[in-house]
Amino acid sequence: MHQETEKKQILENLNNELEDKVILRTQEVMQQKELVEIKNKEITESVIYAKRIQAAILPDIKLMYRHLEQSFVLYIPKDIVSGDFYGFVHKEDKIIIAAADCTGHGVAGAFMSVIGSSMFNQIINEKNITQPAAILDALNDGIIDSLRQKESDSNDGMDVSILAFDLNKRIVDFAGANRPMWLIRNGELLTYKPNKFPIGGMQIIHEEKFSQHHIQLQPNDTIYIFSDGYADQFGGELGKKLMTKRFKEILVSIQHLSMPQQQLHLKRLFEKWKGQHSQVDDVLVIGIKIP
């Protein structure tokens, strides 16, 4: 009888000891969870603040619409902040527009986009460079110098399309770093090819300068510049990429719509295609119709 009582006491003590350990461990887990939640909240708040800074640096879309009534900017960041950015400058008789896709997305891409956007504006407004190819050359030099890429192993850079319009003469000049320009005229899509190297990064091994296309425009011509995020999105019934070919077909098929309607159509189609899949990359599409 004494042995049974002793066994019960030992088991009870062990049980109490285990319960104490479970309570202590639970408290530790809860404290760690609270710390993680606090850190996540701090990080999220910092990224949201970074979004405000990025939004302040991007040009006012209303200003673009004032000068180009039939135009749109479709801008869908993958994360809170984006590695894509768009540029707009009205200088003298020219309207200069850029669509840029920086290395990475999220915070890393956003840092590059802030640098690129600021440099783009500085090159045009302070250095008075308005030719797209010359802007790309200056942007390339600026990124390499500012990131000290000749002395470091940094490969950060960006792919960029730049347009310079003279609407009085119905002319557009285009230059691209890895990103083309598409022009739809009378139902046919024409591709203007970019130089096949980026701004910054591995571009430091190239001595070649950026080339430029000079295009005489016609009424109802529609021009598109864009990052690769739209065409690279996985989705549809088979979970495959949308692809450039399908993107071209979509743009040709919506030429009867106004530019605001095109923007809405492209946004809805993107969401429908994406479905339950995660967004792959930042999305930027700029469209301009010539009156």
Q: What are phi and psi of 49, to 5 degrees?
A: -65, -40
Residues 43 and 65 in one domain: no
Contacts 24+ apart (CB under 8 A), 57-61: 57/85, 57/114, 57/117, 57/118, 58/85, 58/86, 58/117, 59/86, 59/87, 59/88, 59/89, 61/88
Q: Per-residue pLDDT averaged across 274-288, rounded?
A: 95
Give 184 or 111, the one with higher predicted confidence.
Answer: 184
- pLDDT tops 90 at residue 27: no
Which residues have a Cβ under 8 Å from the Cβ of 82 and sit 6 or more positions away? 54, 75, 105, 109, 110, 113, 282, 284
Domain endpoint, select from 57, 75, 92: 57
Per-residue pLDDT of 200-230, as tens digits, reads: 875 556 678 999 999 999 999 999 999 999 9
**Cα separation of 103 and 84, whole Å?**
9
> Looking at residue 32, what is its pLDDT?
77
Residues 49 and 190 in one domain: no
Grade residue 138 by pLDDT with cuts at 50, 70 and 90: very high
Residues 160 and 39 in one domain: no
Residues 168 and 204 in one domain: yes
Q: What are phi and psi of 58, to 5 degrees?
A: -65, 145
> Looking at residue 177, what is its pLDDT?
95
Domain endpoint, select from 16, 32, 57: 57
Residues 221 and 126 in one domain: yes
Residues 15 and 76 in one domain: no
Residues 172 and 211 in one domain: yes
Question: What's the burial of 71, exposed, middle or buried (CB within 10 Å: 0-12/13-18/19+)?
Answer: buried
Per-residue pLDDT of 153-205, as tens digits, reads: 667 789 999 999 998 899 999 999 999 999 999 999 999 999 998 998 755 56
Q: Per-residue pLDDT averaged across 97-106, rounded?
A: 84
Give 249 or 109, the one with higher predicted confidence.
Answer: 249
Highest mean pLDDT among 60-69, 103-112, 150-159: 60-69
> Looking at residue 55, what is its pLDDT?
74
pTM summary value: 0.84
> Looking at residue 25, what is its pLDDT?
78
Write out the residue range of the structural domain in which residue 274 sits: 61-289
Q: What are phi and psi of 91, to 5 degrees?
A: -130, 115
Say if CB 130 and CB 96 are below 8 A apart: yes
Token pair, residue 123, equals 């090159």
Task: Return the CATH number at 252.
Answer: 3.60.40.10
Q: What are phi and psi of 284, to 5 degrees?
A: -145, 120
Per-residue pLDDT of 38-58, as tens digits, reads: 766 766 666 676 677 777 778
Residues 86 and 183 in one domain: yes
**Cα separation of 249 and 219, whole Å?**
21
> Looking at residue 28, what is its pLDDT?
74
> Looking at residue 46, what is its pLDDT?
63
Burial 158-169 (b: 16+ CB within 10 A, else e): bbbbbbbbeeee
Give the count of domains, the chain: 2
Residues 101 and 11 in one domain: no
